[in-house]
Amino acid sequence: MQLATVKSKGCDMRWSHTYIPTLREKQTDAELISHQLLLRGGYIRKLAAGIYIYLPLMQRVIDKFSSIVREEMNKAGGLEITMSVLCPAELWQRSGRYNSIGKEQMRLKDRHQHDMVLCGTHEETVTDLVAGEVKSYKQLPLNLYQIQVKFRDEIRPRFGLMRGREFLMKDAYTFDADDTSFNKSYQKMVDAYFSIFKRAGLDVLKVESDTGAMGGKLAHEFMLLVDTSAGEEVIISCPTCSYAANVEKAMFGLSRLADQDSILNEKETVHTPGASTIEQVAAFLKVRSSQLVKTLIYMADGKPIAALVRGDRELNEVKLKNVAGAIELEMANPTQVELHTGSPVGFSGPVGLKNIPLYVDPMIVRMKNFVVGANKSEHHIVNANIERDFAATKVQDISKANAGDMCPNCGGTLTVRRGIEVGNTFMLGTKYSSALEAKFLDAEGKEQPMLMGSYGIGITRMPQAALEKYSDDKGIIWPKNIAPYLVELIPLNIEKEPQKEAAERIYKDLIDAGIDVLLDDRNDRAGVKLNDADLIGLPIRIVIGDKSLKDGHVELKARSQANVTLVLVENIVQAVKKLSDELN
């Protein structure tokens, strides 16, 4: 029996048959260039804050990117499933996140008055699924993933698809029996991520990150570095070694800071009229701000705590939240400050502060004879010293790393960059498997909770993020593997028979060769068609005009390049393939 060979054809589309509502005018509610271009290029439309409709071109971008993700996930051993967006609240109550996640979670009741949630992530669902089925170490490791809708009632939905309330995510979950196996599973996902982003035309940086509400030990984020205001994440990295971390997590070395005086002077309360900020106090006392210690009062789950950092440093709230083990952390308001310290804002200090835990940055342990607030209006204490004058509840790094600080890894000098988080990987440990009883019997017959990892990629965020890098003042310049079509074919005047004929022939040849092509068959002005082509940003453009067609030529141009080449109609497939090979 002979097997038929199936040659895959490229996807074809005529502009007149599709729906690409391009817009000329600047869109006033789109701050970012990428958001502007998706609206103007007829890719998306807004339904409500953070809720978008993906039009045909966007749907194709999503499908192309999803295919890359699927292929690489499958290659790495992932098994695709689909979990429902709707979930009984009970699972989230059992994991403890029903209380900790807050208002970002969409909640509702069904007709039987059962509490339900719309999932913003699926750890609970997948863990419960596995808990009922996987019983032996022989069934592990397991990697389940999906590409599915997520709902998060983001406090500030903005930037179009970048931070939506409804969006698409690829989320994967791994289950392993021991650390060695888990580390392999984690590394496989990291490798798959690099392959995915590379194929999509993006260079990403892997950075250490805080585990946040997800829990677990360690996490990494995959960042697209950008120079625009789209870069919501601040990244601290070392140009000398490979150290890179989200500023929420970033550490820095201390040894460059010289120890100060060795003698402890007598402490003294001084009147500091009109001076309450660090700058004012430093100026008044004629000392550097690095000789002051800031005492910041916070409310951690409703209880006051004090955080001490050096006067010239900023507090890192994420680090403080972790040290204090708090779910909700907010700065105390003036009334709370007065209630707990006995003085207005600006004069808080650690000396004599009662019944409030003191979290102290290690920089302060190396300081001597510093200035602190006196817990008395318009007064400060000079020559304060830790241990002699107050005791820390805990000494731990709670300051923000800055550019110029020392790399904690190699001693180099840290720099600051901005990025968009396009994906992340979390080492979850046994947080969910313990809570939801995903246990297995190990080789000795002992019951143990599974070791878990979770791994997300923003399927709708990533393509928009790419446009922060790939666009110019005329429009989008898609990386070829996530472009809705590779080629736009433009007969300048479709009414002219030779142009129409050449267009139909090239159209057919490209499709037969497996190339995705959009034919602009509109009976519109050439200028309109060329402007739209630049705006929607397909990687390769073929223009058919009278002049070159006389000698059997058409014009071939990459959207990312300025030069135009004349190609014989019969050679066009080859020329398109060659040009495509050169493109990102």
Smallest distance, Å, CB 467 to ligand ATP? 14
CA distance 538 to 389: 68
| Residue 34 lies near ligand ATP (rule: CB under 6 A) | no
Q: Within 381-410, which residues bind ligand ATP (CB under 6 A)?
A: none
Q: How many residues bind ligand ATP (CB under 6 A)?
A: 15
Tell me which stretch binds ligand ATP (CB under 6 A): 60-68, 370-378, 458-466, 541-549. Answer: 458-466
The residue among 169 and 306 lying less far from ligand ATP, judged by its C-beta, is 169
Nearest to 38 by CA among 15, 51, 21: 21
| Residue 439 lies near ligand ATP (rule: CB under 6 A) | no
Q: Within 511-550, which residues bind ligand ATP (CB under 6 A)?
A: none
User: Counting beta carbons within 10 angstroms of the beta carbon of residue 294, is it exposed (0 to 12), middle (13 to 18) or buried (19 or more)?
Assistant: buried
| Residue 503 lies near ligand ATP (rule: CB under 6 A) | no
| Residue 248 lies near ligand ATP (rule: CB under 6 A) | no
CA distance 234 to 236: 7
Smallest distance, Å, CB 213 to ligand ATP? 8
Nearest to 539 by CA among 513, 520, 518, 521: 518
Report which residue's Cβ sits closest to ligand ATP: 458
Please pick, from the candidates 311, 458, 463, 539, the single residue that binds ligand ATP as defined by CB under 6 A.
Answer: 458
Please pick, from the candidates 95, 105, 121, 127, the single residue that binds ligand ATP as defined by CB under 6 A.
Answer: 121
The residue among 461 and 529 lying less far from ligand ATP, judged by its C-beta, is 461
CA distance 209 to 147: 23
Residues 15/21/26/28 CA torsion (nearest 10 deg):
-160
CB 170 within 8 A of CB 69: yes
Please pick, from the candidates 35, 220, 294, 461, the single residue that binds ligand ATP as defined by CB under 6 A.
Answer: 461
| Residue 424 lies near ligand ATP (rule: CB under 6 A) | yes
The residue among 369 and 425 lying less far from ligand ATP, judged by its C-beta, is 425
Smallest distance, Å, CB 147 to ligand ATP? 11
Write the binding mask 351 to 380 for ligand ATP: x where contact by CB under 6 A, - elsewhere. Answer: ------------------------------
Smallest distance, Å, CB 455 to ligand ATP? 8
Peptide bond preceding 344 in cis form (omega within 30 of 0):
no
* 3 state SS of 575: helix
Tell me which stretch binds ligand ATP (CB under 6 A): 260-268, 270-278, 388-396, 420-428. Answer: 420-428
Please pick, from the candidates 115, 154, 442, 504, the single residue that binds ligand ATP as defined by CB under 6 A.
Answer: 154
The residue among 152 and 340 lying less far from ligand ATP, judged by its C-beta, is 152
Tell me which stretch binds ligand ATP (CB under 6 A): 71-79, 368-376, 418-426, 522-530. Answer: 418-426
CB atoms closer than 10 angstroms to residue 266: 7
Rounded to 10°, the helix 497-512/572-582 angle is: 60
Cα 74 to Cα 173, 196, 210, distances in angstroms = 13, 12, 28
Smallest distance, Å, CB 440 to ligand ATP? 26
CB 150 within 8 A of CB 166: yes
Q: How far is CA 113 from the centre of its chain?
A: 36
Q: φ and ψ at 80, to 5 degrees?
A: -80, 135
CA distance 453 to 262: 48
| Residue 153 lies near ligand ATP (rule: CB under 6 A) | no
Strand spans (E) along 301-438: 303-310, 329-331, 358-360, 370-373, 379-384, 394-395, 415-429
Please pick, from the candidates 40, 163, 206, 400, the single residue that binds ligand ATP as defined by CB under 6 A.
Answer: 163
CA distance 434 to 345: 43
| Residue 463 lies near ligand ATP (rule: CB under 6 A) | no
Tokens of 253: 């070395």
| Residue 220 lies near ligand ATP (rule: CB under 6 A) | no
| Residue 421 lies near ligand ATP (rule: CB under 6 A) | yes
Residues contributing to the site for ligand ATP (CB under 6 A): 121, 152, 154, 163-164, 167, 169, 421-424, 456, 458, 460-461
